[in-house]
């Protein structure tokens, strides 16, 4: 039997991915840009050579839907490796699962690396990013350390994430509700594309924001990065809410965090809000302002200050962390 264990962290998008142009290959409608976190680790072990596939998440057998998603992903790895043996997947998430804190990103980044190693594949960073993308689009960015751009690409081979230079930033994560969201990112994304009258505008404006964001990141322009981040998050929640039936991920307490960001800025503190598909809000700030921002949102939820972190890496008791070449 061959086994491998990998760790990966979630990433929070500053320019969001919301909409696919190919559901099977998970090719996005546009590119996106994110920060991979140094916290909320997912650790995943894959043991090849079992009697049947299985998926244990946070100590218990996972739901049927999550197990089928993992098994479907293992099928891709088995095809690449030319090895049809079943595997046991055992994973733990430090972030809440399915709550808009990118568990699918850390989950499939760690699974892509652990499964490819356990089945004997030796993939470089772009190839691993492409593989992780097939599990969950956002996962392709968690292969990469720090700030990453996911190129929309034109086909499977050209759609992967790579590092982008950016200033040192912090995210203050405000966990308002750790429960699983009622509508998964995948389902809500499809609904938005199929029913929102604003979807085309969302796609074309995202391309423009991404171009501006890459320029701002390269220039180290923190205020511009922050403004674009908040603008783009609010546009995403607006287009999601314009679906039929509507989907609304932000809760009253999420809006209070948005208000706090505005008040902080008015008093000269750098803080801009973003939220993925869930009620939990992240405030983008500088290392110098992070403590003040964290103190300001202390009463609104669980608060954690996170920095840019490493990409997915193999771990083993004997060897310690092994970064992807
Ligand atoms: P999130 O906001 O947490 O990314 P999503 O709706 O995108 O929420 O994805 C949640 C799904 O991702 C879970 O229902 C499960 O199918 C999958 N997932 C989460 N964590 C893991 C993991 N560690 N390993 C494999 N799949 C995972
Ligand atoms: C709001 O990557 O979870 O977090 O590709 O269907 O698995 P699937 O969706 P997922 O969507 C992430 C949406 C988002 C924005 C982002 O991370 O860019
Ligand atoms: Co997700």
What gap in Å lies between CA 274 and CA 54, rounded to an integer? 35
Residue identifier of the C-alpha nearest atom 22 of ligand 1: 107
CA 89 centroid distance within chain: 20
**Best mutation site among 8, 16, 17 for ligand 2 pocket (most ligand atoms within 8 Å of CB):** 17
Specify the pLDDT at position 222. 98
Query: What is the CA(270)–ligand 2 centre distance, in A?
Result: 26
pLDDT tens figures, 177-189: 999 999 999 999 9
Query: Does residue 274 line the site of ligand 2, with CB under 6 A?
Result: no
What gap in Å lies between CA 289 and CA 211, rounded to an integer? 27
Query: Does residue 277 line the site of ligand 1, with CB under 6 A?
Result: yes
Query: Does residue 42 line the site of ligand 1, with CB under 6 A?
Result: yes
Query: What is the CA(98)–ligand 1 centre distance, in A?
Result: 5
Query: Of all helices (H) and strands (E), which one includes residue 231?
Result: helix 222-241
Query: Does residue 104 line the site of ligand 2, with CB under 6 A?
Result: yes
Query: What is the CA(10)–ligand 2 centre distance, in A?
Result: 11
Query: Does residue 129 line the site of ligand 2, with CB under 6 A?
Result: no
What gap in Å lies between CA 314 and CA 114, rounded to an integer? 7
* Residues in contact with 224: Cβ distance below 8 Å, sequence separation at least 6, in sequence order: 212, 216
pLDDT tens figures, 139-165: 999 999 999 999 999 999 999 999 999
- State which ligand 2 atom lies nearest to the alpha carbon of 236: 1
Stretches where the chain sits below pLDDT 70 are 1, 317-325
Query: What is the CA(102)–ligand 1 centre distance, in A?
Result: 7
Query: What is the CA(277)–ligand 3 centre distance, in A?
Result: 8
What gap in Å lies between CA 145 and CA 158, rounded to an integer? 19
| ipTM of predicted complex | 0.99
Residue identifier of the C-alpha nearest atom 14 of ligand 2: 276
Strands (E), 154-310: 161-163, 170-175, 272-275, 281-285, 302-306
Ligand nearest to the CA of 32: 2
Query: Does residue 78 line the site of ligand 2, with CB under 6 A?
Result: no
Specify the pLDDT at position 316. 79
Specify the pLDDT at position 80. 98
Backbone dihedral region for residue 40 (phi beyond 0: left; psi -120 to 50: alpha; all else: beta): left
Q: What is the pTM of this model?
A: 0.97
């Amino acid at each position: 039997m061959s086994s491998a264990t990998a760790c990966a962290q979630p990433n929070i998008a500053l320019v969001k991915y919301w909409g696919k142009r190919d559901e099977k290959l998970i090719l996005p409608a546009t590119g996106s840009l994110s920060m991979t976190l140094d916290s909320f680790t997912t650790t995943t072990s894959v043991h090849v050579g079992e009697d049947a596939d299985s998926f244990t998440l946070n100590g218990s057998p996972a739901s049927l839907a999550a197990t089928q998603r993992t098994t479907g992903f293992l099928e891709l790895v088995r095809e690449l490796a030319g090895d049809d043996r079943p595997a046991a997947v055992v994973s733990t998430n430090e972030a809440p699962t399915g709550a808009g804190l990118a568990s699918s990103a850390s989950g499939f980044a760690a699974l892509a690396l652990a499964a490819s190693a356990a089945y004997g594949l030796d993939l470089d960073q772009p190839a691993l990013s492409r593989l992780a993308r097939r599990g969950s689009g956002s996962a392709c960015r968690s292969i990469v350390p720090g700030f990453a751009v996911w190129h929309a690409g034109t086909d499977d081979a050209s759609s992967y994430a790579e590092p982008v230079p950016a200033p040192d930033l912090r995210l203050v994560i405000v966990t308002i509700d750790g429960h699983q969201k009622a509508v998964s990112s995948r389902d809500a994304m499809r609904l938005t594309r199929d029913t929102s009258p604003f979807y085309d505008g969302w796609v074309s404006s995202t391309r423009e924001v991404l171009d501006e964001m890459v320029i701002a990141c390269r220039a180290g322009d923190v205020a511009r990065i922050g403004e674009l981040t908040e603008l783009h998050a609010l546009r995403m929640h607006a287009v999601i809410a314009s679906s039929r039936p509507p989907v609304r991920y932000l809760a009253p307490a999420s809006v209070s965090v948005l208000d706090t960001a505005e008040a902080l800025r008015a008093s000269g503190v750098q803080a801009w809000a973003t939220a993925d598909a869930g009620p939990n809000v992240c405030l983008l700030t500088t290392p110098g302002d992070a403590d003040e921002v964290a103190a300001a949102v202390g009463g609104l939820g669980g608060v954690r200050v996170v920095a840019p972190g490493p990409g997915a890496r193999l771990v083993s008791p004997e060897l310690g962390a092994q970064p992807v070449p």
